[in-house]
Amino acid sequence: MIRATVWNEFVEEKIYPSVSSVYPDGIHVVLAQALGDELAQEVQVRTAVMQDDEHGLTDDVLAATDVLLWWSHLENDAVSDEIVARVQRRVHQGMGLLILHSAILSKVAKTLLGTSNDATGWRHGDKEHLWTILPTHPIAAGVPNPVVIPQQEMYGEPIDIPTPDELVFISNFEGGEVLRSGCAYLRGQGRIFFFAPGHEEYPVYFQPEIRRILGNAVRWAAAGLPAPARPTRTGEYPASGG
Ligand code: ZN
């Protein structure tokens, strides 16, 4: 059983009709439903939002999370540094992390990847072709090539992310831009997947091929290694040893 936690800042759904008309109950609810549909008995999903105590990400919640999905945009910079550090520690210990769309600019993503993650330009409303370039990767299993997303927000290259450990998808847009849109990373014992599709004004997370990718990614990210047991430094060395 994979224990997934879907985290959403949950702000734009409450203030912009263009967002609430697509995700009236919040993007997190739709993502949770997608995982339930895709992974059925394999997954147990909970949701958390920024307005919850400790952003809903207490030590207990994170300890009971195998994969954390992170969607954020407007409030990327408002997330508490303490919670960011907590998420980073858990990823290093083996928790999986899916960084979704504009969450690539979240503190969590910047901290774990170590880069600014700035893209070169953005534009709303483009048709996107998502191409599989690593068809043997588990995240690409059963995914048609290409996946056509009728409307999406374009982010363009160069994007200041680290070279992925595995580059699973690239995308091209109507304006001719390209993007590394499905990037897998290992950080400590944890597996991280950046997946670029998912702008809040378009029903991207309702699309069956996108749901397949999300389900595959959760399954892949859940397979991070458990943290090895290590003696603490004070247990290993005499305190006065210098
Ligand atoms: Zn967007």
Centroid of ligand 1 to alpha carbon of 41 (angstroms): 31
For residue 66, tell me if it sits in a domain. yes
For residue 157, tell me if it sits in a domain. no
Give the sheet arrangement for strand 147-155, strand by strand.
43-49, 2-8, 67-71, 96-100, 190-195, 178-187, 166-173, 122-132, 147-155
Alpha carbon distances (Å) from 231 to 6, 93, 227, 235, 242: 33, 15, 12, 6, 18
Centroid of ligand 1 to alpha carbon of 15 (angstroms): 15
Centroid of ligand 1 to alpha carbon of 65 (angstroms): 26
Centroid of ligand 1 to alpha carbon of 178 (angstroms): 16
- 144-177: pLDDT as tens digits: 999 999 999 999 999 999 999 999 999 999 999 9
Centroid of ligand 1 to alpha carbon of 123 (angstroms): 9
The number of domains in the chain is 1
Residues with CB under 5 A from ligand 1 (ion): 102, 153, 199
Centroid of ligand 1 to alpha carbon of 133 (angstroms): 24
For residue 126, tell me if it sits in a domain. no
Long-range residue pairs from 160-165, CB within 8 A, at least 24 positions apart, any chain: 160/115, 160/116, 160/117, 160/118, 160/119, 161/104, 161/113, 161/115, 161/117, 161/194, 162/113, 162/114, 162/115, 164/194
For residue 19, tell me if it sits in a domain. yes
pLDDT at 232: 64
How would residue 188 be classed by pLDDT, with cut points 50, 70 and 90? very high
Domain region containing 7: 2-118+182-222
Higher pLDDT, 223 or 137: 137
Centroid of ligand 1 to alpha carbon of 202 (angstroms): 9
Alpha carbon distances (Å) from 22 to 15, 27, 30, 184: 13, 9, 10, 28
Centroid of ligand 1 to alpha carbon of 101 (angstroms): 7
For residue 231, tell me if it sits in a domain. no
For residue 69, tell me if it sits in a domain. yes
For residue 63, tell me if it sits in a domain. yes
Q: Is the pLDDT of residue 231 over 70?
A: no
Alpha carbon distances (Å) from 128 to 31, 65, 138, 151, 170: 20, 32, 22, 7, 10
Alpha carbon distances (Å) from 23 to 11, 13, 16, 107, 161: 11, 7, 10, 24, 29
Centroid of ligand 1 to alpha carbon of 171 (angstroms): 15
Centroid of ligand 1 to alpha carbon of 103 (angstroms): 9
What's the CA angle centered on 191, arms 230 and 215, to 5 degrees? 135
- 62-93: pLDDT as tens digits: 999 999 999 999 999 999 999 999 999 999 99
For residue 76, tell me if it sits in a domain. yes
Centroid of ligand 1 to alpha carbon of 72 (angstroms): 9
CATH number of the domain within which 34 lies: 3.40.50.880
